[in-house]
Copies of this chain bind each other. A is one copy, B any other.
Amino acid sequence: MPRESNLKRREPTTDFEAPELMFAELDGLLGYLLRRAQGAMHRDFMAAVSDFGLTQKQAAALWLIQANGGVSQVEVAAALGMDRATMMAVTDRLEDRGYVIRKRSSVDRRRQELYLTPSGQSTLRKCKTRIAEHEEKFRAMFTAPELAALLEALKKFQTPV
Residue numbers in B under 8 Å from A23 (CB-CB): 64, 67, 79
- Secondary structure call for the A interface: helix
Q: A79 to B31, Cβ gap below 8 A?
A: no
Residue numbers in B under 8 Å from A76 (CB-CB): 21
Closest to A116 in B: B7
| Bound-complex Cα distance A31 to B49 (A) | 13
Q: A33 to B75, Cβ gap below 8 A?
A: no
| Residue in contact with A135 in the complex, picked from B14, B31, B38, B131, CB distance below 8 Å | B31
Q: A37 to B158, Cβ gap below 8 A?
A: yes
Q: B63 to A12, Cβ gap below 8 A?
A: no
Residue numbers in B under 8 Å from A93 (CB-CB): none
**A159 CB to nearest chain B CB (Å):** 8
Q: A33 to B64, Cβ gap below 8 A?
A: no
Given the interface pairs A31-B56, A157-B37, the reply to whether A149 lies near B151 with Cβ below 8 Å is no
8 Å CB interface, A147-161 against B: 147, 149-151, 153-158, 160-161
**A27 CB to nearest chain B CB (Å):** 8
Q: A24 to B63, Cβ gap below 8 A?
A: yes
Q: B37 to A41, Cβ gap below 8 A?
A: no
Q: B8 to A75, Cβ gap below 8 A?
A: no
Q: A28 to B151, Cβ gap below 8 A?
A: yes
Q: Encode contact with B along A60-73: 1 for CB under 8 Å, 0 otherwise.
A: 10011011111100
If A24-B63, A28-B151 are given as contacts, then 4 extra A-B residue pairs at C-beta distance below 8 Å, sorted by A number, are: A10-B68, A30-B138, A35-B56, A40-B158
